[in-house]
Amino acid sequence: MVVVSRDESARLKAGLLIGAALLTGAVAQPPASDNGIPVMRFAEPEVSGLAPSVRYPGVFWAIQDSGPEPRNVLLAVRIAGGVARPWPDGQWVRTVPVRGAVNHDWEEVTVDGRGHLWIADIGNNRGLRGDLALLELEEPDPWRDAEARLIRRLPLRYPDAPATGRSWNAEALFFRGDEGWLIAKAEGHPLYRLPMKEATVSGVLAVREGALTPPEGGFGGLVTGAALAADGRSVAIAAGRRRLWLYDVRPEVSLSDALRSAPPNCALVPGHDDRPWQIEAVCFVPGSHHVLAAAEEGPVWFWTSPCSSR
């Protein structure tokens, strides 16, 4: 089971949260935020998705990438005000198995406009998978439920394919109301819209919506996670080692136009040293522009409305 390390637990129990010193790195634009705070550390690696609970304030759901042991579980953590809280039994992470699901290559967890959780089984490193799918779940009660109920498994299809391989590799998915938005983990950062209302028993066909506009100098890597703020005015992108990027979304501009017509306005650089953390999970705290992000190596960071005066 995934837990925080002893050192991290002792520090959190003592109520000590140390502000992280952030490095701006080689990218000059956009400016980097300087208020990241380390929150906790998962004891096991490869956390690849993070999403806030809709029904249970202060609860966040995480998933792990596929591995040698079964990983068909949701990981529930409690974080309030940038501080991790233990569960009543003293554990820092609670595991909830997903009944009827197999973790082929889970890469993202997110929530839709109805409050359902979605797990994106869309990892495709060799480009050969023909069984990409989105898993819709009824959000479980982390206090009482012994397992999460799978509502449906929705096959995912693309209208195109990369030059090599049968299909795209992707690790970033978020919802805006009833529409999903997916960013392929590929050069050029292809952007796709998922019209969920048009989904059939054969699945959902993605619609190509151009590509992300990267910052000056590039992301420094491929996209590994994404999230949309509850008010729809900010999109967070995890891309490149040890980098997060924020895009402004104005009410009068469509989401696709906002992401493909202008670069991000802000960079977040988690960590207090120069270790190139592989950030693969990001989400916004409900009702705010506060950001949580996790590296697959375990650390979790928190920012309070970074890079803006919103």
Whether pLDDT at 206 is above 70: yes
Q: What is the pLDDT of residue 270?
A: 84
More confident residue, 281 or 65: 281
pLDDT in tens, 79-93: 999 999 999 999 999
Over residues 282-295, the mean pLDDT reads 95
Average pLDDT of the residues in 243-254: 91
Q: What is the mean pLDDT of the segment spanning 212-223?
A: 94
Residue 274 has a pLDDT of 66
**pLDDT for the residue 99:** 93
- Per-residue pLDDT band for 234 (boundaries 50, 70, 90) equals very high
Per-domain residue ranges for the chain?
A: 6-303
Closest CA to 234 of 282, 169, 300, 295: 282
Distance CA 290, CA 236 (A): 11
CA dihedral angle for residue 160, residue 134, residue 261, residue 207, rounded to 10 degrees = 40
Contact 17, 38 (CB under 8 A): yes
b vs e for 272-284, b when ≥16 Cβ sit within 10 Å of the residue's Cβ?
eeeeebbbbbbbb
The DSSP letter of residue 221 is: S
pLDDT of amino acid 172: 98
In whole angstroms, give the CA distance from residue 305 to residue 55.
23
CA 249, distance to chain mean position in Å, is 18
CB-CB contact of 111 with 120 (8 Å): no
Which pLDDT score is estimated for 310? Answer: 41
Asked if residue 278 has pLDDT above 70, the reply is: yes
pLDDT category, 229, cuts 50, 70, 90?
A: very high
Eight-state DSSP code of residue 10: H
Average pLDDT on 192-212 reads 96
30 prior amide bond cis, ω within 30: yes
Average pLDDT over residues 217-226: 94
Quick one: how many helices (H) and strands (E) in the chain? 2, 22
Q: What span, in angstroms and rounded, lies between the C-alpha atoms of 60 and 303?
A: 15
Give the chain's radius of gyration (CA, Å).
18
The class (CATH top level) of 6-303 is mainly beta
12/18 Cα distance (integer angstroms): 10
129-186 pLDDT per residue, tens: 999 999 999 999 999 999 999 999 999 999 999 988 889 999 999 999 889 999 999 9
Please give the mean pLDDT across all residues of the chain.
86
Amino acid at 10: A
Phi, psi at residue 8, to the nearest 5°? -70, -40
The structure's pTM equals 0.88
Residue type, 153: R
Yes or no: say if 92 and 86 are a contact pair by the CB < 8 Å rule. yes
Give the pLDDT score at 299. 92
Checking if the pLDDT of 122 tops 80, the result is yes
Work out the pLDDT band at 33, boundaries 50, 70, 90. Answer: low
CB atoms within 10 A of CB 149: 13
Residue 279 has pLDDT above 60, yes or no: yes
- Report pLDDT for 255: 94
